[in-house]
Every structure is written in structure tokens, then in C-alpha cells.
């Protein structure tokens, strides 16, 4: 009789511990938010940008992507504009986002005749 009274509370306690451990381990491994930061970098030939994720460098772009040759951004603002576009793509789920010539032209970073 005494043993029957302990079975239900004991079962509830064991299940509670099991669910707590499962939830706690998930919290330790699951990261809900990533802090992403873009900063302009001055180079010897112009500007580039660096994107960091949770304080660690993720992308360091010293030249204009998708452009033939090693051309830096001409202004700090252009570098930040493209860097922020890359961050937008990261937020949409792209782990290694790319920038196209068309996008660079749409942002005004490249003129229509430039490639």
C-alpha cells in the first residue's frame, strides 16, 4: 500500500528530471541570436568591409566582390552599403552570401559601364 503511494509521485519526479535535462541541454547547444556587425576597413587602395558574428570575424572583404581585378571600394559608404547587403542576405539564411554585378549597379556602387 505504501509502495503504491510512492509510484505516481516518483514517476512524476523522474519524468520532470528527464524533461528538465533534455530542455537544459538544448538551451546550452541552441543559440537563438547572433550579433552581426559591419565595419568599414580602410585599405591602401580604398575601402573594404568586415562582418563579424558574435565578435568573431566572419567575412573580410577588401575588394569589390564580383568585379574583375583587385578594385577596392572608392568610399567608406559604398563599402558599408555592400557589407549591409551581405548581412541582409545572411539574415535570410544564406551562410556564404554573394553579391552580383547587377546588385552592385543597383546600389550605385558600380556605374552601368563598369565591370
Give mean pLDDT, residues 17-31.
54
Helix (H, G, I), strand (E, B) or coil at 9: helix
Establish if 115 belongs to a structural domain.
Answer: no
Which of 11-15, 28-32, 51-55, 77-81 is least confident?
Answer: 11-15
Q: Tens digit of pLDDT for each residue in 100-115?
A: 999 999 999 998 655 5
Helix (H, G, I), strand (E, B) or coil at 50: strand
pLDDT tens digits for range 27-76: 555 567 888 999 999 999 999 999 998 999 999 999 999 999 999 999 99
The total of structural domains in the chain comes to 2
Kindly state whether residues 83 and 61 are assigned to the same domain. Answer: yes
pLDDT tens digits, 87-100: 999 889 887 899 99
Same domain, 88 and 45: yes
Which structural domain, as residue segments, surrounds residue 6? 1-30
Same domain, 63 and 80: yes
What is the reported pLDDT for 95? 78
* Residues near 78 by beta carbon (within 8 Å), at least 6 away in sequence: 47, 107, 108, 109
Q: Name the pTM for this structure.
A: 0.70
Contacts of 111 (CB under 8 A, 6+ apart): 105
- Residue 61's DSSP bridge partners are 49
Residue 97 lies in a domain: yes
Amino acid at each position: 500500500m505504501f509502495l503504491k503511494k510512492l509510484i505516481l509521485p516518483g514517476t512524476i519526479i523522474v519524468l520532470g528530471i528527464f524533461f528538465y535535462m533534455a530542455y537544459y541541454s538544448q538551451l546550452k547547444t541552441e543559440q537563438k541570436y547572433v550579433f552581426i556587425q559591419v565595419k568599414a576597413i580602410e585599405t591602401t587602395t580604398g575601402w573594404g568591409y568586415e562582418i563579424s558574428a558574435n565578435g568573431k570575424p566572419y567575412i573580410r572583404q577588401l575588394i569589390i566582390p564580383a568585379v574583375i581585378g583587385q578594385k577596392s571600394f572608392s568610399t567608406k559608404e559604398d563599402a558599408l552599403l555592400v557589407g549591409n547587403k551581405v548581412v541582409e542576405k545572411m539574415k535570410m539564411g544564406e551562410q556564404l552570401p554573394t553579391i552580383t554585378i547587377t546588385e552592385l549597379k543597383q546600389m550605385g556602387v558600380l556605374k552601368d559601364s563598369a565591370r
